[in-house]
Amino acid sequence: MKRDRKTKIVATLGPASNTYEMIRKLHEAGADVFRLNMSHGSHPEIAERHKMIRQVEKDLDSPIAILADLQGPKLRVGVFANDSEELEWGETFRLDLDETPGTHKRVNLPHPEIFAALEVGSHLLVNDGKISLRVEECGEDFANCIVETGGTISNRKGVNVPDVVLPLAALSEKDRKDLEFVCALGVDWLALSFVQRPEDVMEARELAGGRASILSKIEKPAAVKSFDDILAVSDGIMVARGDLGVELPVQNVPPIQKRLVRKCRAAAKPVIVATQMLESMIESPMPTRAEVSDVATAIYEGTDAVMLSAESAAGDYPIEAVTTMNNVAIEVESDSTYVEIIEASRTAQRNSVADGIVAAAREIAETTNIKSICCFTSSGTTAALVARERPRVPIIAMTSCRGTARRHALTWGTQSVMTGELERFKQAVVNAARAARANGYADENDQIVVTAGVPFNQPGTTNILRVAPCDERLIYSTDPE
């Protein structure tokens, strides 16, 4: 399905988008990737959503990526005798392993691993940071705290510990079961929550066994500090600004977002900017001006994708939310300032023959009247390298691998087209010309750039670049091979 933009849109499915008809409408409105939130929904419900997405993909003949977002470890306080209590600034409050219902002086925190990591001066944030506690004294089963920011604390509210690296596995027992389930279903991407270290990613990769690509969610200060190492072992990144904005001062998040997006671009790995992008559209058919600016900022940075969460999963206006994102992306990308920003932030990579080929493809496309870059890719690496260049023209990823085509629904500027396995480069050029014409990217009077690796179907062999006409008769008459 031809898009008039290069930035991709991720839409989360939920009660508001739980039918074939709605999923199809969302895709037609602009959703390129569907997110299955494993924090909500039973396995049968997730399987039914997966089935409907694949049916939409088949009916529209349009590769769709499915992203399964694992819940990760959830840290929560216990319950209170009165269901909730008011904490005042300067008061003392105790967290411990005692399961007795809490009072205005203490509550259960059923996570001994937190107490093992705490130090005097560490902070605990409760209920999305609305309450802040500073540790005055701690041991293996308790923490006596001072209330630095008061408020209402109630049953099972979430707890964040921003100051320390917790000795927690990124995958809970539930996550392990969910991972196996969605890999057996056939999802394309696995989003790993609360990553703190590269070892967390490697554990998930080993369990996935190549059945899905691994996308690391950056939502912990520890992940920001170890980002280069995490990026090196991940297939993609999500800048998950929800918990990141809780555990860090909110003014730190925008520069972190910008820095992480640029590092992902340089590494040729897709990056999603997520959380609260159009949150007012959960209840309103129109976004705020600030939300539109937020989405636009991520697009100006060159992010691969922007994401809708509750807006499409549980909101009253899921179609309108996707349409708004689509329209913002089209408008931003048509701005001359966007091109200037993207090109000024491009990082030159000249470490291999493939790097040279894709850089040359972009330069040729931008200095002549080339309509698109068609790259033949087996594993998807060549298309990712072309996308890293952020060319002004569309990228057509020609592949015989359905999984590769689906994964690239998350890659900036890339339209995937299925092709049969090839043995001769001339046939590859012919197929590329046909794909460019069929998808509306060129006509018979236009030219395209074709990149490929010979021998075909061997990852890492990108070694050919050709400027070719879209008229098949000219291809056959000028190429004797």
Contact 84, 152 (CB under 8 A): yes
Tell me if 289 sits within 8 A of 301, measured CB to CB.
no
Catalytic residue among 74, 76, 174, 259: 76
Q: Residues 6 or more apart from 208 whose CB is under 8 A from it?
A: 179, 183, 190, 214
The span from the CA of 33 to the CA of 431, in Å, is: 26
Q: Taken in order 429, 432, 434, 436, is the CA torsion positive or negative? A: negative
Question: What radius of gyration, in Å, describes the C-alpha atoms of the chain?
Answer: 24
Closest CA to 414 of 270, 295, 263: 270
- Asked about 130 being catalytic, the answer comes back as no
At residue 190, the 3 state secondary structure works out as strand
Q: What is the secondary structure of 96-149 as a DSSP string?
A: ES--SPB-SSEEE---HHHHHH--TT-EEEETTTTEEEEEEEEETTEEEEEEEE
CA distance 31 to 10: 6
Q: State the catalytic residue, choosing from 24, 35, 406, 407.
A: 35
CA distances from 340 to 170, 300, 467 (A): 39, 10, 26
For residue 453 the two structure tokens come to 């690796």
Assess contact for 88 and 147: CB atoms under 8 A. Answer: yes
Backbone angles phi, psi at 149, to 5 degrees: -135, 115
Find the catalytic residue in 5, 106, 217, 220: 217
Token pair listed for 117: 């990591």
Give the separation between CA 33 and CA 1, rounded to whole angstroms: 13
Whether the upstream peptide bond of residue 455 has omega within 30° of 0, thus cis, is yes
Asked about 473 being catalytic, the answer comes back as no
From residue 418, how far is each of 166, 235, 387, 397 by CA, in Å?
A: 44, 22, 18, 8
Phi and psi at residue 312, in whole multiples of 5°?
A: -100, -20
- Respond yes or no: is residue 35 known to be catalytic: yes
Among residues 275, 411, 419, 451, the one annotated as catalytic is 275
CA distance 61 to 31: 15
Of 348, 340, 162, nearest to 246 by C-alpha is 162
Element (H, E) at 11: strand 8-13
- Give the integer Cα–Cα distance in Å for 276 and 232: 27
217 is catalytic: yes
Give catalytic residue positions.
35, 76, 217, 275
